[in-house]
Structure 1
């Protein structure tokens, strides 16, 4: 469970675009007025802190004059105090949020872009404020941390705080699996040395080195299981609210089990065939049939899951179009 990539953030933004724009429009239109341009930086900071108690995803607040020149320092939100307080007298007249605000009658919301301060995806909500004589007094701009906003809107903000503990636990489990794989590799190496010694000693009877293959196969299966766990639960981001992520994880784990059990069943067939113990081959055949059934069931699960998700996406697109 890693941090969302920019692609993941943009995909989730597209899913909740209408809700995000409506929320930002309601937030900014409720407090943006001409009195804000008379407040000092300290008063703006106090005001923003009270706003962030309800909306912690607000990262910056700043004011522009009618020509797009910033007339105050960047005021960071309570969750983003590390932001440098800069920006005074900066020319923002060519920025999309200023241009959109000048054309709009209400709140304008930009598309996601990389913040020059945090290098993270953010949105800017802007709104022009008029004087009593209908001339433009300035523009109020809010920068929004998009990842934080999506986490709050989807109810995922609490889980994020536990992610380091989840990652630590999965890491310990993976280290244990890798340790077992190394032990099996060591056992396979010892078995190989015994086989080589038997080949070099004429008086010793050479047996088929099936133990080496078994150890190596088990080591491969356990290592692959640990690798899958490490990638799925520690290194890669997994959206627990989306069924495709769960389907991907289940598919990878079941695939590892199918490969390991298939190899073991083949080894059983070879072992019984070489020893002439044909009466036990049927047991290995039943295992192969079980693996085939598991593979068919996995294919049906993947097909039905992808088809169901496609139907959900189509319904969502129809609702947006309507």
Structure 2
């Protein structure tokens, strides 16, 4: 949703001019109320809802008119709150900032056109409007295939993360009940649970960015934040594994301590590299 709003704000003037010119070609709009604004819906595929409010009485004088249905329940309701925040321009148009429609639950913008005492309100679905203007590109078949793939991969990774955490809990519980507590039985479940958490966090990000809130703007801040969170989780698991290996070698195979040293050096290098990444990211934000 945020990406749509950013794109809209970047091209706001162009979008408003397109809408104004298209509506002017159909003016006066109130003449189309007899056929439920059918021509208006044909002109704007993104149009979801049309209704008319009297600027004097501040009451809605028409039903809520959708493309394929009419809702009479909203007629004659007071719309003072709408008119109070309406900023009508010299050309009798007004545009509201993008918002999530309570009627359709889609991200919309409301365009208003004053005609005498009447003000025609039109809710346009922002995603379809941006697509119509070529500000975002979507091939429905390809987009649906990609979306389905990401959805499957995301939920499958969530399932695997659940399996990893379940394994961690069941393994520890079985060893605990059997009184087989050791370094392995304590640290291995922690590692499995940590990896499960990392996988879950990654799958959540995939579903958010590619399925439910498709990103059309490549925001490096989001990508770096996701990468950092994932690497930190992996680093925690690796550090625990390193600690466990050091303990095991110190107790059982002291002559192989050099291998533990190599592992500690590798983990330390990982920590330093991640610290540099975080530092450089913060420096770039300050600029």
2:68 maps to 1:84: no
Deviation, 1:212, is 1.0
Deviation, 1:93, is 5.4
Specify the alignment match of 1:62 in structure 2.
51
Deviations 1:132-153 (A, max 9, x none): xxxx364333223346656774
Specify the alignment match of 1:75 in structure 2.
65
Specify the alignment match of 1:28 in structure 2.
20
2:271 maps to 1:278: no
TM-score normalised per structure 2: 0.76
> Where in structure 2 are the equivalents of 1:102-251 lying within 5 Å?
104-113=90-99, 115-118=101-104, 122-129=108-115, 136=116, 138-146=118-126, 149=129, 153-155=135-137, 161=144, 162-163=146-147, 165-193=149-177, 195=179, 209-234=182-207, 239=215, 241-251=218-228
Deviation, 1:262, is 0.9
Distance 1:73 1:249, change over 3 A: same
2:21 maps to 1:37: no
**Relative contact order higher in (CA < 8 Å, ≥ 6 apart):** 1
Could you tell me which runs of 5 or more consecutive residues in structure 2 were left unpaired when the two chains were aligned: none
Specify the alignment match of 1:264 in structure 2.
241
TM-score normalised per structure 1: 0.69
Deviation, 1:157, is 8.3
C-alpha distance in 2, partners of 1:112/1:35? 25
Q: Which moved more, 1:86-95 or 1:219-228?
A: 86-95
Q: Does the 8 Å contact 1:109/1:125 carry over to 2?
A: yes
RMSD: 3.6
C-alpha distance in 1, partners of 2:129/2:279? 33
C-alpha distance in 2, partners of 1:156/1:308? 32
Q: Does the 8 Å contact 1:76/1:85 carry over to 2?
A: no
C-alpha distance in 1, partners of 2:114/2:271? 60
Q: Does the 8 Å contact 1:265/1:288 carry over to 2?
A: yes
- Secondary structure, aligned partner of 1:241: coil
Deviations 1:260-297 (A, max 9, x none): 1111111111111112x333222222222222222222
Q: Does the 8 Å contact 1:71/1:89 carry over to 2?
A: yes
C-alpha distance in 1, partners of 2:195/2:162? 7
C-alpha distance in 1, partners of 2:161/2:183? 23
C-alpha distance in 2, partners of 1:225/1:279? 34
Distance 1:144 1:256, change over 3 A: same
Specify the alignment match of 2:232 in structure 1.
255
Deviation, 1:61, is 2.5
Q: Does the 8 Å contact 1:13/1:150 carry over to 2?
A: no
C-alpha distance in 1, partners of 2:5/2:238? 42
Equivalenced residues, count: 277
C-alpha distance in 2, partners of 1:30/1:279? 82
Could you tell me which runs of 5 or more consecutive residues in structure 1 were left unpaired when the two chains were aligned: 130-135, 197-207, 312-322
- Secondary structure, aligned partner of 2:91: coil
Deviation, 1:246, is 1.4
- Secondary structure, aligned partner of 1:100: coil
Deviation, 1:258, is 0.7
Q: Does the 8 Å contact 2:108/2:123 carry over to 1?
A: yes
Q: Does the 8 Å contact 2:168/2:190 carry over to 1?
A: no
